[in-house]
Amino acid sequence: MGHSPGDGEEFPMYVVKVPALIEMKRIEPHQVLKRSGVVIEVPPGARDRVAFVSHQWCGRYHPDPCRVQMHVLQTILRRATASTLKVEADVFSVLALRMKQTTRAPDLRKLAVDGFVWYDYFSVPQPAAP
């Protein structure tokens, strides 16, 4: 997919499909997952189905060397896929931003099945990685 000047994008957004992330056994850098086709550019019209994952780096050269945080993320996404996850918004979001108090399990399932994840280590090239 090409990006033309003036389309508002400086760089393409790379993501991983939720089902692929759920099945990941290792957290590989962007370059490795892009070569294998796991990391893809977000498809046109799919930006509203991208979850941005923010996390704490637990290692100097790898974000989660023991896969502790990734295991939690995979568990949450599995529960969303199985429609056993319930998400409640915080009070500020409900009152000030008028967000729904609870996101329903079927809505979460649709996002999990058809969604994508942006995660810095595999969505952004890592200069120090292979």
With a threshold of 0.85, does the pTM exceed it? no
Q: Using one digit for the tens of pLDDT, what is the confidence trace for 62-115? A: 889 999 999 999 999 999 888 888 777 788 877 887 777 677 777 788 888 889
Q: Where are the alpha helices (DSSP H) in the chain?
A: 18-23, 30-35, 68-81, 91-95, 105-114, 120-123
Q: pLDDT-based confidence at 1, cuts 50/70/90?
A: very low
